[in-house]
């Protein structure tokens, strides 16, 4: 059975996956400057194109695609053979149902059941409400983060009313760098 490995998160041997580990394997990461002081905001940005895939209705994939750029795949898998990006960012809300949907989609990649030519690059979790998460939801996010990079997007009141033009919250600077979004 030919499956699609998660982008750099699974080591393959001659007979298939050898071990389920977190982080890139095989290809060394490019050298990045140490994050210190205000210069840390000058880290290189990505030129890679991403497909935002919603793991459930109302996940926020359309909003993220509008804010950060990239392809809004909705709840469908992107089709690289038709020119859509094969680099996937799975999107879900931070409520219990959203995290379960993210876990289910992550498992599809883990099992190798995702469509061919797709790489899962990260999970993007969008706050479902302002404020702190309950402990059980935080624990669920830690479990997801133990196998793949997780980017958290805080509650942005302006986005709720459709205003996507304001400055990005500083908590999502790393997601902005990943997607190549330049911030003012």
Q: Left, alpha or beta for 162 (phi > 0: left; psi -120 to 50: alpha)?
A: left
Q: Classify residue 125: in a domain, yes or no.
A: yes
CATH code of the domain covering residue 153: 3.40.50
Are 107 and 137 contacting, i.e. CB atoms less than 8 angstroms apart?
A: no
- Report pLDDT digits (tens) over 117-133: 999 999 999 999 999 99
Q: Which domain holds residue 70?
A: 45-179
- Domain assignment present for residue 157? The answer is yes
Give the residue-averaged pLDDT of 140-152.
Answer: 97
**Does some domain include residue 153?**
yes
Please write the tens of the pLDDT for every residue from 3-33: 334 444 443 444 444 334 444 443 434 433 3
Q: Tally the domains of the chain.
A: 1
pLDDT digits (tens, 9 = 90+) for 33-65: 333 333 344 445 556 899 999 999 999 999 999
| Band of pLDDT at residue 84, cut at 50, 70 and 90 | very high
In a domain, 30, yes or no: no
Indicate if the pLDDT at residue 152 is higher than 70: yes
pLDDT at 33: 35
Query: Whole-model pTM above 0.95?
Result: no
Could you tell me if residue 33 is inside a domain? Answer: no
> Is residue 31 domain-resident?
no
49 part of a folded domain = yes
User: 65-82 burial, b for 16+ CB within 10 Å, e for fewer?
Assistant: bebbebbbbbeebbbbee
Q: Report CA-CA distances (Å) from 175 to 11, 25, 35, 180.
A: 25, 21, 15, 8
Identify whether 40 is part of a domain. Answer: no
């Amino acid at each position: 059975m030919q499956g699609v490995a998660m982008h750099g998160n699974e080591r393959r041997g001659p007979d298939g996956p050898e071990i389920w580990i977190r982080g890139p394997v095989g290809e060394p990461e490019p050298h990045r400057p140490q994050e210190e002081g205000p210069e840390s905001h000058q880290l290189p940005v990505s030129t890679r194109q991403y497909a935002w895939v919603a793991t459930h209705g109302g996940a926020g994939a359309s909003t993220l695609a509008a804010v950060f750029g990239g392809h809004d795949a909705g709840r469908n898998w992107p089709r690289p053979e038709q020119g859509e990006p094969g680099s996937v960012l799975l999107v879900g809300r931070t409520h219990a149902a959203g995290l379960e949907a993210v876990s289910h989609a992550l498992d599809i990649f883990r099992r190798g059941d995702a469509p061919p030519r797709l790489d899962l690059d990260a999970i993007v979790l969008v706050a479902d409400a302002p404020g702190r998460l309950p402990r059980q939801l935080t624990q669920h996010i830690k479990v997801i983060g133990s196998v793949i990079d997780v980017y958290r997007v805080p509650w942005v009141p302006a986005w709720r009313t459709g205003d996507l033009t304001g400055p990005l919250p500083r908590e999502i600077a790393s997601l902005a760098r990943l997607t190549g979004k330049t911030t003012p």
